Structure 1
Amino acid sequence: MKSLPIAFGLMGLASAAAADVTVQSCDRDVTFDKVPTAAISNDVNLTEMMLVLGLADKMVGYTGISGWKTLDEDMRSGVEELPELSAKYPSKEVLIGADADFFFAGWNYGMKVGGEVTPESLAPFGIDVYELTESCIHVGDKPKASLDDMYNDLLNLGKIFDVEDKAAALVDGYKAELAAFQETLETGDPLRVFVYDSGEDKPFTAGLYAMPTALIEAAGGTNVMDDFEKSWGTVNWEAVVEKNPEVVVIVNYGNVTAEEKRAFMMNNPAFAELDAVKNDRFVTLEYVDATPGPRNIKAVKTLSEAFWSK
């Protein structure tokens, strides 16, 4: 077979490398004409998505972790050569100052609707934004929370960073792992489950569009707040008492420990008649397990064991 001229071959490679990639990010179509090389991720779960895809060498840093959370050993080793550019939400100046060309964040995961850091405010500085799928309910409609939200983000990151095969293999692996586990799971009627994130006067919890709803359902339960048409938000304790959860899932992070949250509910007379309190049925998920990311399948297994172990 006659070989192509070297010049033509190089041109072909160049054009292939420069081929545009378009992904849907919430209600936007975002087109990339090259692979980002100076990416920043916000929050621990989004950063883990970047790391599990092997993208540390395409990053210049991360934001929004140490201000609220601590890193476990696996996470620390993954980001040890990357700087944390902001302990909490980054300012526009932080992102511009790092010469970033890509920001992986979400609404209430590094960006706020109407805030100074948005896809529109960063665009003039050459910083493209990909938004966490779970968070899209803040800027438009979306279906209820699903593990597909997490899968979608990994697959889109794979397209953006030209690691589609790796992303597809990860997602296929997660799906197969979950299916195999669920085949062995013996359940009864779906358990009534409440997610206790934080707050004493009023609880901050997971609603219809938050990942714990999907995790609970995959484990054989139902989120008692799945009629709360938000992702994460505040409700009244009266609503929780009315729903009478059989299990409480505590999200562990911040200054108040999971044990302190459990003690608050166990020792409060207002909750004495809740089935979860009477039977002391509490299960803890770390923040990084309860939010969209690579640890979601592990979270389903943790919940299942708490729900159905005898």
Structure 2
Amino acid sequence: MSATPLRIAVTGREGQVARALAERGPALGAEVVCVGRPALDLTAPATILPALAAAAPQVVVHAAAYTAVDRAEGEPDLAHAVNVEGAGAVAAAAARLGVPVVHLSTDYVFDGRIGRPHREDDAPAPVNVYGRTKLAGEAAVAAAAPDHAILRVAWVYSPFGRNFVRTMLALAATRNAVRVVSDQHGAPTSALAIADGVIAVARNLVARPDEAALRGLFHMTGAGEATWADLAEAVFAESARLGGPSARVERIGTVDYPTPAVRAPDTRLDCNRLAAVHGVALPHWRVSLPEVVARCLAGKEEEGRTP
């Protein structure tokens, strides 16, 4: 940890990663300033540079996004405005300020049919509006700010806001069995672990401004893999161990749970490049899960909203 805190401006205040960054920053020697609406509005690009300039950051972390995957199918223009135009404007603002930008993207840029964890050099092929806008957002960030690190994350859960773990615990409190999809594969990832990884990457970018290898595209998820049903079973087992609600998981197929947005069957990400270049490797999702479940059961976290 450096003697002088690393000053990070984070877009958004209520999202899972933004809240995790604000929480984890002090312990990791980072002064985190979260900037959100109305001061910074991704649908109003003129607000972005003044809001970030006022935060006087050494690095910008773009964590805010349009993340309502199913709703995006009916709101493609809004999803594009936030995830593409907004992301590009944030990166351009960082470039104007002369600081690096860390941009969070998603595993949803892939169609999940490659049969192994996806590497950064695999061709993306998003299957829904959300994935397409996030992929276009990556391109917008890279074009606007050469000094960038794009981090693809996945299956984010936390004690904050709306996410799968909190949903499962809420359902278990009211029913004995929960139907959960068992043929979609990915890597559950704690927002708290993401925050730790983001701060480490940000520190590298600031400390080594001329090291090109630190820039570019990286995958960053929890170690291990799971289906949604696997994750649900792990949540219920941990909750039961702590005296919380539990339910039996009824494993179903994607076909049995239709959604407006198509879901890819396998979006596991290969994170070896991040470990080799930045020295960052997130814990196994089963290691990170117990803390989150315990905090959810403690009932001390506000219900948040994704910006």
TM over 0.5: no
TM-score, structure 1 normalization = 0.33
The structure showing larger relative contact order (alpha-carbon pairs under 8 Å, at least 6 residues apart) is 2
TM-score, structure 2 normalization = 0.33
Instruction: Determine which structure has more spread, i.e. the larger CA radius of gyration.
Output: 1
